[in-house]
Amino acid sequence: MKYYFLLIAFLAITLISCSDDNTTNPPAADPVAYTNADGIKGGMLFDKFWATETGFDQTNANITKLNASADFFRCKQCHAWDLMGRNGSYNNRAPKTTRPNVADRNLRTTASNLTPQALFDAIKKGLGKSRRDISADLSTYDPATNSTIGDQMPDFSKILTDAQIWDIVKFLKTEALDVTKLYDATYSGTYPTGTATYSNIGKDGDATAGNTFYTAKCAICHGADGKQIPNLDGTTGMTVGKFARTKPNELQHKMKFGQLGSSMKATAGTITDFKNLYKALADTTKYPN
């Protein structure tokens, strides 16, 4: 009897060590489609995938619906510019009849935990989660009484090509700026009545280098003091400096991927370039409100 037990124990150990060997094999190479994907275009798709800048087919039969219910389809509405959903800057972005609840997910964490293929599958197939039919009626959405369908992530397998989804995967994994390197933030309270407070804009960045970057990339349109295009964002008195200090969560994306629908195109730069620019824009004398 004792020997049978030893034999079973021996077999079990052998099997465990075999499976250990398997898991220590090098991971499969990245899919070619991921390697070739364009993460800058992915950032634009994340903002508004059907914008002309992304190359989206403007004859797509859903365009009217997308424009009419934009916030139900834009990744950024449900996941936020900082990718942190309701756990970050959008902890106070309450739903209304024209926009859904912000998702309770942190896509930055998701993107770093998942392989490119798994992230692709999560976006395209939903991995068992309910996805909203593209044709779902959103005209009756009401956060208080009728929010279930509207809050669901759309079934993107029906509207994005694989290449577009790979571009988004590339954006999430490699091009999305890590906002914790650009500013400090405290998030308090509970969605949708939370508060986001920003401080230390530009952190340990170099303001001199940031001013040089601003002069080269922004001043031609916004002027040396950031006031040349007035009332940015449709807000009276909004300047580039004020925007950087009050909406650093949003500006980082607009700088790197462009302000879609305007002449402001994507600006190439490293996280250090953008951090330096933030440091410069934190100066209220040089870039006043």
177 binds ligand HEC (CB under 6 A): no
Between 168 and 185, name the residue whose CB sits nearer to ligand HEC: 168
Going from the C-alpha of 214 to that of each of 65, 83, 177, the distances in angstroms are: 38, 25, 18
200 binds ligand HEC (CB under 6 A): no
Round to the nearest angstrom and report the end-to-end CA distance of the chain. Answer: 85
Verify binding: residue 103, ligand HEC, rule CB under 6 A: yes
Interface with ligand HEC, residue 280, by CB under 6 A: no
| Sequence-separated (6 or more) residues with CB below 8 Å from residue 11 | none
Q: Residue 2, interface with ligand HEC (CB under 6 A)?
A: no
Per-residue exposure over 132-148, b if at least 16 CB sit within 10 Å of its own CB, e if not: bebeeebeebebeeeee
Q: Which of 138, 176, 182, 251 binds ligand HEC (CB under 6 A)?
A: 251
How many residues line the site for ligand HEC (CB under 6 A)?
A: 41
Given a contact cutoff of 8 angstroms between Cβ atoms, the answer to whether 265 and 255 are in contact is no
Dist. CA 240–CA 223, nearest whole Å: 10
Binding characters for ligand HEC, 55-94, by CB under 6 A (x = yes): -----------------xxxx-xxx---------------
Structure tokens at 122: 């999560």
Query: Shortest gap between Cβ of 59 and ligand HEC (angstroms)?
Result: 20
- The yes or no reply on residue 33 touching ligand HEC (CB under 6 A) is no
Query: Between 161 and 262, whose beta carbon lies closer to ligand HEC?
Result: 262
The stretch among 33-41, 60-68, 203-211, 262-270 that binds ligand HEC (CB under 6 A) is: 262-270
Tell me how far apart the alpha carbons of residues 141 and 147 are, in angstroms, rounded to a whole number.
6
Q: Pick one of 177, 179, 201, 218: the residue that binds ligand HEC (CB under 6 A).
A: 218
**How far apart, in Å, are the Cα atoms of 194 and each of 89, 179, 240?**
9, 19, 25
Locus of tokens 């009545």: 193
- Contacts with ligand HEC in 116-175 (CB under 6 A)? 119, 122-123, 126, 129, 151, 153-154, 156, 168
Can you tell me the distance from the alpha carbon of 231 to that of 263, in angstroms, rounded to the nearest whole number? 16
- 243 lines the binding site for ligand HEC (CB under 6 A): yes
100 in Cβ contact with 94 (< 8 Å): no
33, 40, 149, 229: which one contacts ligand HEC (CB under 6 A)?
A: 229
Q: Are 55 and 260 spatial neighbours (Cβ–Cβ below 8 Å)?
A: no
Question: Which residues contribute to the site for ligand HEC (CB under 6 A)?
Answer: 49, 72-75, 77-79, 100, 103, 105, 107, 110, 119, 122-123, 126, 129, 151, 153-154, 156, 168, 217-218, 220-222, 229, 232-233, 240, 243, 251, 254-255, 259, 262-264, 267
